[in-house]
Homo-oligomer: A and B are copies of this chain.
Amino acid sequence: MAASMFNGPISRRRLAGLLGTAGMGAVGVALAPGGVDRGSAAPGLHPSQADEAGHGAHAGHGTDAAATGDAPAARAATPSAGGTPARTSWAEMDAMHEAGIKAFPAPTAGLGGQLLPYELDGDVKVFRLECQFTQWEVSPGEIVEAWTYNGVVPGPEIRVTEGDKVRIHVTNRLGESTAVHWHGLYVPNSQDGVPFITQPPINPGQSHTYEFQIRDGNAGTHMYHSHLNAAVQVTKGLLGAFIVEPKDPSTRPPFDREYTVVLNDGPIGGFSVNGKSFPATQPLTAKKGERVLIRYMNEGLMIHPMHLHGMAMDVIAQDGYLLPQPYRCDTLNIAPGQRFETIVEATELGVWAFHCHILSHAESEHGMFGMVTALIVEE
């Protein structure tokens, strides 16, 4: 399965189309093309969503549409008293919230986590990573100086199979030394990426080559990231997913599509999912009835309990290792360095919010931001 199939960019047009097909008019409107004036104090009214009630196999109990009627005249901004700083009016707050939703998924430059191609040298898969300064658009118009592998956050996804021989050339174009740790992989000590313990640091302008064979039993969701000045380098973007597929796929639970969800936080990029802040995050999509594998990894400095609306998750693996007893939850607490694999049975139609439940990582008075995306289940 090509990574571009499940990690590819999803345009607002495509999302609007999907939703239109599914008959979700209201969301379709929210996602329809057209600029939103974020500064407007008197935004266009949101259309009644009474028509969206009752769809889906389990609805059957109509919304009290009368009570959800069109937005009232009170939506106009509350004027502030002259001379005192105005608190944002509720109508302004709503307008900012709405603008964020309407913009989702907002186009930004750059998309991380795409599959890293390799060359074969005999039976060795040869990958190349270059540590770079990158102007990275975290959310529309918010551009930060990220430190990246190959110009993207997260770095490109390395995906191999148990037993594979792997060689990775790393070149450092940054202003300080670095080194790469293969977090979760069994590697010879000399390849572990810890400066002055297992190798000299990779100085600016220099290169270093890592080489190891993927051990049987080491399948699962792993990571690669800097291990030098890492509190800075990793939160600035020197991180990526390292996925090891099992030689025998029947050893792991089956799934129909998969997503990797890389969590990060830090003073530069803020709260992000796969290198982007809402509304620039990419939604996950599934067709009804599919089993969706979601691979989580936390590259930040804080915990992030990820909450999926609408459907539970079966937690099947931790740090790559299959759990002897999977368990079910809807809010999965992920600490820095941890990875989890979950299977979601996409049984419920609709656009389901999916966010960190530390609410201050996901929403402010100005609307949703940061660690927010959605799972979209369509017919």
Contact = CB atoms under 8 A, between A and B. Distances in A.
A359 interface: yes
Contacts of A325: 323-325
Interface string A340-372: 000000001111110001111011110000000
Contact of A59 (B63, B190, B228): B190
A323 B315 CA distance: 11
A301 to B, nearest CB: 5
A189 interface: yes
Given A203-B74, A229-B363, A338 B349 contact: no
Interface string A47-71: 0110011111011111110011001
A353 B184 CA distance: 13
Among all A-B residue pairs, the 4 with the closest Cβ atoms: A189-B350, A337-B357, A64-B209, A59-B188
Contact of A56 (B54, B188, B200, B309): B188
B72 A205 contact: yes
B63 A192 contact: no
B359 A192 contact: no
Contacts of A207: 67
Contact of A192 (B54, B187, B309, B321): B309
Contacts of A329: 318-319, 321, 338
25 contacts: A53-B190, A58-B212, A59-B190, A61-B124, A61-B212, A63-B190, A71-B200, A71-B203, A72-B205, A90-B176, A97-B229, A101-B195, A194-B309, A194-B353, A197-B374, A227-B353, A305-B336, A305-B337, A319-B329, A319-B330, A319-B331, A324-B325, A324-B327, A330-B337, A336-B358
A148 B71 CA distance: 23
Contacts of A9: none
Nearest to A328: B321
Contacts of A115: none
Interface string A300-332: 011101010111100000111101111111110
Interface in A239-264: none
A12 to B, nearest CB: 14
B63 A189 contact: no
Interface of A: 24, 27, 30, 46, 48-49, 52-56, 58-64, 67-68, 71-72, 74-75, 90, 93-94, 97-98, 101-102, 124, 165, 167, 169, 175-177, 181, 183-184, 186-192, 194-201, 203-213, 215, 227-232, 234-235, 301-303, 305, 307, 309-312, 318-321, 323-331, 333, 335-339, 348-353, 357-360, 362-365, 374
B90 A175 contact: yes
Count identical subunits in the complex. Answer: 3
A209 B210 CA distance: 59
B215 A67 contact: no
B210 A63 contact: yes
Nearest to A218: B312
Contacts of A339: 331
Nearest to A88: B176
Which of A48, A68, A198 has the most chain B CB atoms inside 10 A of its CB?
Answer: A198
A177 to B, nearest CB: 5
Given A24-B189, A58-B186, A188-B350, 16 more contacts: A52-B190, A52-B198, A53-B188, A59-B191, A60-B213, A71-B200, A90-B177, A97-B228, A230-B363, A301-B359, A303-B303, A305-B338, A307-B337, A319-B330, A330-B337, A338-B357
B307 A192 contact: no
B75 A203 contact: yes
Given A175-B90, A186-B348, A331 B337 contact: yes
